[in-house]
Amino acid sequence: QVQLQESGSGLVRPSQTLSLTCAVSGGSISGGGFSWNWIRQSPGKGLEWIGYVYDSGRTHYNPSLKSRVTISEDRAKNQFSLKLNSVTAADTAVYYCARVSITLVWGVITHRDAFDIWGRGTMVTVSS
């Protein structure tokens, strides 16, 4: 079955760029029918959706983070990535990658389903 595994730097300096990768195994991100998402959870807090990539690199981001976020896919490596720039202590969190089934009609998402597969998460601390 499909599995997701996050990796990347666990410590990022303030004002720098957070970079994470999610490796997908047991399935291909090129197959279509899915969006590939990033979600984070600050210590002791709830879940915050960051954004997703789908359909050969198209993206959509949380409006609250849009100015600082880039999500991209690498089909050759079967993985997708998150970059969050100008980080502060408020970006300290466990970062999860997750899959969502989507329905595309003429390139437009007409239906989004649940976050059905999640990675185990990776803790990122922003500190000098």
Residues that bind other proteins (CB under 8 A): 37, 39, 46-49, 60, 62-64, 96, 109, 112-116, 118-121
Nearer to other proteins, 17 or 70 (CB): 70
Nearer to other proteins, 63 or 107 (CB): 63
Helix (H, G, I), strand (E, B) or coil at 128: coil
- Helix, coil or strand: residue 67: helix
Minimum Å gap between C-beta 55 and other proteins is 13
β-bridge pairing 122-126 and 11-12: parallel
Nearest-approach distance from CB 78 to other proteins, in angstroms? 20
> What is the C-alpha end-to-end distance of the chain, expressed in Å?
39
Q: Which is nearer to other proteins, 23 or 109 (CB)?
A: 109
Alpha-carbon distance 91 to 99, whole Å?
22
